[in-house]
Structure 1
């Protein structure tokens, strides 16, 4: 099959081998839960200790042995503004190697359906809001995470190239800011929402009179629960085919100040919130246009407040086991 021949996505074979790369992470673990609920019987996942995705020979050996029919590439080195701006080489090099190894091995194994997960940071810093899929490569990136963004853009183009050269019906999805169980809550490597949950919950435990957050609190961000993201991934695999990446989000956004106030309310913090305006805000607004996804018949289901309550409950249950 070559690009241009007709492919009609349909229900995936529940008995086929399904490899989820990054199965213990925020998105990967949610995808595993969703697949199990949907009746998949042969889900494969490997920890980084069991399979280093940066090791090309090991990745090829794994694919040759397992022969997965379906793959979701959710494995990545991820982090917040501080981590991305401090270690740009790591975020570029590690992610490109992971992607190239997995995608090349999957192509050699002729994986039937593959979904590559990117990030909304692939879009220009000042892209018109809400951000459409065709905004890709139309402007400069946000400098604090441009290395990570370039790696993810490379993944999108790799998938498109496989479609053109080999005709495999692979697709890409670009999630908005995700949160939920198994997120990274570390003090130096987490994204904004888990960082705020940890900060406010610790303030409650310590009886702190104030909490200080980075920036002005004015940037607007869109958030989606990981379980919604997982549901969208399975939906896309069974209902969408095309070379263009598909935005996945809730279609609504809130200010960082609003999300901080909501998290404070959820954890029971009633002290003062201060904002360190000497620290960077990042992109002023990042709201995805999700009309392409909506046209396939999918919309998000988990309300932000409900999702935060569930995430805080999970965080408190697992706080002693988290990355610090």
Structure 2
């Protein structure tokens, strides 16, 4: 049974993004009736004064901090200052403002890139800050680590219940398909779809195809978030993923089958691979009773159908 009243006021920061919109869908499906939403035009999370005023006025019972500046390997490497500056400000404004407004319960959504580039696999939560980060997205990772430590520090000093959820690579409805700024799965899906439409016989994929990645359907992520809220998990750092991974080659081949592209793959080894492997140890959250439900093949199929209806 849920420990949260269905009429509790729940603020979802970043509700138009992939993760935030999935959390909203999950909350509505769960019968929650008092969901607090603000667009960027209505509330700029980079504006500390406005964020504090908003939280002090509304005093939500629970906050999901899903707002972030996000992007793929190229965007992270080029817009380094933007990624660290904007994410630091959003986190500090919302988390600090939540405490000042008396909000006791908050979930901060981070990223698996917070872990060291070459740490042991699968990655346990305890590996945080035990080695150097992946250089291409270090600024973003540092910002997310700061968010984790903000939650931890407020809990220790003030007795708040601010928990951090670290998802693996996410995909699904409302993803970003910009080829220059998106993550690998949506970028490959779009490239494959467009190659099929053009009648190409070759699909060029960045890197060697050897790195291994774990992918989580975004509605599973949202389900994990609401599960943690309903079960009163109010402190600590929790990995959220499937516990399984595939090579980039295997990912590309799965997408090709789903899209119906029967050409060949060509790997562009001049492009960076990024982290060699990034598989999360999800046993901590599994021990609390939650595991992912959507396998990669079914998730990509659902994502492609959404892409055909809402994007292409």
Greater CA drift, 134-143 or 55-64: 55-64
Counterpart of 1:188?
A: 180
Match of 1:270 among 262, 277, 281: 262
- How far the C-alpha of 1:160 sits from its partner, in A, is 0.3
Match of 1:93 among 85, 88, 98: 85
Deviations along 1:33-77, whole A, 9 cap, x unmatched? 000011110111111122110011111121122211100000000
Counterpart of 1:252?
A: 244
The runs of at least 4 consecutive aligned structure 1 residues that moved more than 3 Å come to: 240-243
Question: Aligned ranges for residues 223-262 of structure 1 at < 5 Å?
Answer: 223-241=215-233, 243-262=235-254
Counterpart of 1:3?
A: none
Counterpart of 2:102?
A: 110
3-state SS of the aligned residue for 1:75?
coil
3-state SS of the aligned residue for 1:258?
helix
Unpaired segments ≥5 residues, structure 1: 1-8
Distance 2:231 2:118 in 1: 31
Question: Aligned ranges for residues 306-321 of structure 1 at < 5 Å?
Answer: 306-320=298-312
Contact 1:82–1:189 (Cα < 8 Å) also in 2: yes
Deviations along 1:242-287, whole A, 9 cap, x unmatched? 6431000000000010000000110010011100001110000000
Distance 2:97 2:269 in 1: 46
Distance 2:293 2:241 in 1: 11
Distance 1:159 1:110 in 2: 14
Contact 1:221–1:285 (Cα < 8 Å) also in 2: yes
Distance 2:235 2:147 in 1: 12
Contact 2:105–2:234 (Cα < 8 Å) also in 1: no
Question: Aligned ranges for residues 70-149 of structure 1 at < 5 Å?
Answer: 70-149=62-141
Counterpart of 2:194?
A: 202
- TM-score, length basis structure 1: 0.94
- TM-score, length basis structure 2: 0.98
Match of 1:212 among 186, 204, 210: 204
Greater CA drift, 146-155 or 206-215: 206-215
- How far the C-alpha of 1:23 sits from its partner, in A, is 0.4
Match of 1:64 among 56, 74, 80: 56
Contact 1:133–1:244 (Cα < 8 Å) also in 2: no
Deviations along 1:108-146, whole A, 9 cap, x unmatched? 111131000000000000010000000000000000000
Deviations along 1:299-321, whole A, 9 cap, x unmatched? 1001111110000010111125x
Contact 1:240–1:296 (Cα < 8 Å) also in 2: no
Counterpart of 1:49?
A: 41
CA RMSD, 1 decimal: 1.2
Distance 2:60 2:234 in 1: 21
3-state SS of the aligned residue for 1:257?
helix
Counterpart of 2:167?
A: 175
Change (3 A) 1:20 1:167: same
3-state SS of the aligned residue for 2:194?
helix
- How far the C-alpha of 1:18 sits from its partner, in A, is 0.4
